[in-house]
Amino acid sequence: MRGNGLPVLLELLILSILLLFFPPQTAGAEEQIAHEYQIKTAFLYNFAHFVEWPAGAFSSPSSDFHICILGKDPFGEQIDAITRKPIGSHQINLSRIASVAAVQSTYDCHLLFIPRSEKDTIPQIVARLGKKPVLTVTDQENAAQSGVIITMTIIDEKVRFQINRKAAADVGIKISSKLLSLATKVVE
């Protein structure tokens, strides 16, 4: 599945430029975290536009696009804003998953966000998913070495990301060269 291309790329580029010139102001820790996850919500939404899932990843051409958040949800209500937004011919459906055991058995995730609170379970999550075409995303540093596909990090008070291209290819996910060119690091 490919997104609408140029308009989404422009959104991502505009967001990146705004963040370069208008970084988050020094505020209380709670406000900074809320702002960080507001930006990460936009990144999750845009990542999905630059990824192609293999045939069979969706039950029908118009079935929902499932974004799953594992464990303690760091986004709060902010991420609810993207529910029912389009990803190609699909609409976003958001699920919060309580445990690693439920990742494979209960939910059919297309994008799985693994928060920092689950850092110790990342290898188990990746192993549990196996070859299932799930775009795994985390904000836990150095997660690419554990097989997570996209790792968001904070560099100079800005959200950046790394991509594990090999992990994506291993599960049949193709990442657009446009998205790869915006990554701070691509792991082969």
Angle at 159 (CA atoms; ends 153, 164), nearest 5 degrees = 45
Task: Tell me the per-residue pLDDT of 2-14, one tens digit each, with 9 for 90 and over.
Answer: 444 555 555 665 5
Task: Tell me the per-residue pLDDT of 92-140, one tens digit each, with 9 for 90 and over.
Answer: 999 999 887 777 655 689 999 999 989 888 999 999 999 999 999 999 9
Q: What is the dihedral of CA 179, 30, 123, 58, to 10 degrees?
A: -50
Residue 65 has pLDDT above 90, yes or no: yes
Distance CA 16, CA 71 (A): 28
- Residue-level pLDDT at 26: 47
Specify which residues 185 forms β-bridges with.
Answer: 162
Q: What's the rounded mean pLDDT across residues 137-158?
A: 91
- Residue-level pLDDT at 99: 83
More confident residue, 163 or 77: 163
Which two three-digit tokens encode residue 188? Answer: 């082969």
Which superfamily does 6-187 belong to?
Response regulator (3.40.50.2300)
Which two three-digit tokens encode residue 92? Answer: 């976003």
pLDDT band for 22, please (50, 70, 90 cuts).
Answer: very low
Task: Tell me the per-residue pLDDT of 26-54, one tens digit each, with 9 for 90 and over.
Answer: 456 677 778 889 999 999 999 999 999 99
Q: Is the pTM of this model over 0.75?
A: yes
Angle at 157 (CA atoms; ends 155, 163), nearest 5 degrees = 35
- Which amino acid appears at position 129 of this protein? L
- Residue-level pLDDT at 157: 85
Percent of the chain at pLDDT above 70? Answer: 82
| Residue 84 CB burial class (10 angstroms; 0-12, 13-18, ≥19) | exposed
Mean pLDDT of the chain: 85
DSSP alpha helices (H): ranges in the chain?
A: 6-21, 29-49, 100-105, 122-129, 165-170, 177-182
State the greatest distance between any 2 C-alpha atoms of the chain, in Å, as a whole number: 46
Which two three-digit tokens encode residue 18? Answer: 């705004």
Please say whether the dihedral angle defined by the alpha carbons of residues 180, 181, 182 and 187, taken in this order, is positive or negative.
positive
Q: What's the rounded mean pLDDT across residues 65-71?
A: 94
CA neighbor of 45 nearest in space, from 132, 140, 126, 111? 111
Ordered by start, the domain boundaries in the chain are 6-187
Q: What's the rounded mean pLDDT across residues 58-78?
A: 92
